[in-house]
């Protein structure tokens, strides 16, 4: 075959020479693609897990936080293997909402959930999750929502002068369920059949610790120790740390911990400025980050930062987490009457964004971001 090609090189037309070269294996470049047989260990393959996507900046695997607006601010989503810390607002109105969006996103994407709380039972939390907005049954309602604010004067279309007219329109509303990042309707609960298909593990502190509660002399609070052991057990059971290599389908474990650092966990960080176990919370976060890094999991922790008395602990907690987002609601504060803020429900502060395998992080230039919770949408807007 190769001999015939070289003999015919001089006389033949360019087309046939090219064809001959193609058919022969003279080139050393091989096309890498998915093999038809799907054999194991056949070279590096792209890991495609439902509900994740690689980051466009550094190729890191990302999961959605449940809020597309927040995903955008964090550089595409929450990186797998990192901890997202949310500083609760004063009356704890909006941070449980973010917690529920995170868990609901996990259910819709088919991830495994681990819910830990000292205040409410995890089954109760899961019953309260918002229903996802799927497909175009809600597109027209989304448009309605947007149109409600428009006056008749501004109902005419904006004319764009030149080449943008030829570009396709960007979609701003809810799209089909296979996309990354969904919208949720907070006025409806998640449908029961969707909840039944979900795989979840719950950790409710009063059930795990039997009274009388003795004061533990060890470094970590008793409640934290139990929680860490539980997380480690679930991580190895689910195989997200790679301990079952024969498992073909990989899945992400979403860990949600509610109100860490509050006195209900047995932690004195909110009660006293200098307490005996003042390192308990920071040690917990350190071990948690180690567990999460070594597995395919993403963790969301809410902390009542306004209650923590010792500011040094707040600073350490911030540096021990990867991404830190602070919520400040206007309820009950003097900002509620400020006309500048009348359309919004609160401010959102992105305090820290991690540098994962990078020298710089994805920090946006805009520092004043405000959020508002509409009937079906949690929007974050910039620049008041």
Given the rule CB under 8 A, which residues bind other proteins? 91-93, 96, 118-119, 159, 161-163, 165, 206, 211-213, 215, 262-268, 270-273, 304, 306-307, 309, 331-332, 336-337, 339
**In the complex, minimum distance from the CB of residue 67 to other proteins, in angstroms, rounded to a whole number:** 18
CA distance 78 to 72: 10
Give the nearer residue to other proteins in terms of CB position, either 191 or 206: 206
Give the nearer residue to other proteins in terms of CB position, either 258 or 323: 258
The answer to whether the beta carbons of residues 53 and 29 sit under 8 Å apart is no
**In the complex, minimum distance from the CB of residue 283 to other proteins, in angstroms, rounded to a whole number:** 16
**In the complex, minimum distance from the CB of residue 272 to other proteins, in angstroms, rounded to a whole number:** 5
Give the nearer residue to other proteins in terms of CB position, either 2 or 215: 215
**In the complex, minimum distance from the CB of residue 262 to other proteins, in angstroms, rounded to a whole number:** 7
Write 188-194 long-range contacts (CB < 8 A, 24+).
188/130, 188/131, 189/127, 189/128, 189/129, 189/130, 189/131, 190/104, 190/107, 190/126, 190/127, 190/129, 190/130, 190/131, 190/132, 191/131, 194/107, 194/108, 194/132
Give the nearer residue to other proteins in terms of CB position, either 134 or 373: 373
Helices (H), 77-163: 95-109, 122-127, 139-148
The answer to whether the beta carbons of residues 133 and 274 sit under 8 Å apart is no
**In the complex, minimum distance from the CB of residue 104 to other proteins, in angstroms, rounded to a whole number:** 15
Give the nearer residue to other proteins in terms of CB position, either 118 or 291: 118
């Amino acid at each position: 075959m190769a001999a015939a090609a070289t003999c015919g090189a001089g006389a033949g037309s360019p087309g046939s020479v090219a064809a001959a070269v193609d058919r022969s294996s003279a080139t050393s470049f091989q096309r890498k693609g998915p093999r038809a047989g799907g054999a194991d260990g056949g070279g590096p393959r792209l890991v495609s897990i439902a509900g994740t996507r690689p980051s466009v900046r550094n190729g890191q695997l990302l999961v959605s936080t449940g809020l597309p607006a927040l995903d955008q601010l964090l550089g595409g989503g929450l990186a797998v293997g990192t901890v997202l810390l949310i500083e609760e607002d004063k009356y704890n109105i909006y941070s449980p909402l973010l917690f529920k969006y995170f868990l609901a996103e996990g259910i819709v994407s088919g991830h495994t959930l681990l819910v830990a709380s000292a205040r409410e039972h995890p089954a109760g939390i899961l019953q309260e999750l918002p229903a996802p907005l799927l497909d175009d049954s809600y597109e027209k309602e989304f448009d309605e929502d947007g149109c409600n604010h428009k006056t008749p004067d501004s109902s005419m279309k904006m004319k764009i002068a030149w080449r943008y007219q030829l570009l396709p329109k960007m979609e701003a509303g809810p799209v089909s369920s296979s996309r990354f990042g969904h919208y949720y309707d907070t006025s409806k609960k998640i449908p029961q059949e969707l909840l039944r298909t979900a795989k979840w593990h719950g950790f409710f502190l009063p059930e795990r610790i039997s009274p009388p509660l003795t004061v533990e002399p060890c470094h970590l609070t008793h409640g934290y120790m139990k929680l860490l052991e539980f997380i480690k057990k679930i991580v190895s059971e689910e195989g997200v740390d790679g301990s079952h290599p024969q498992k073909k389908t990989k899945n992400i474990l979403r860990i949600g911990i509610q109100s860490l650092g509050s006195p209900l966990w047995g932690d004195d960080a909110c009660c006293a400025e200098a307490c005996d176990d003042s390192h308990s919370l920071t040690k917990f976060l350190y071990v948690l980050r180690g567990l999460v890094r070594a597995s395919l999991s993403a963790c969301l922790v809410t902390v009542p930062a306004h209650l923590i008395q010792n500011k040094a602990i707040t600073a350490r907690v911030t540096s021990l987490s990867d991404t830190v987002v602070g919520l400040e609601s206007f309820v009950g504060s003097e900002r509620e009457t400020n006309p500048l803020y009348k359309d919004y429900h609160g401010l959102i502060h992105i305090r820290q964004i991690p540098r994962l395998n990078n020298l710089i992080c994805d920090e946006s230039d805009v520092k004043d971001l405000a959020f508002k919770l509409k009937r079906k949408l949690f929007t974050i807007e910039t620049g008041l």
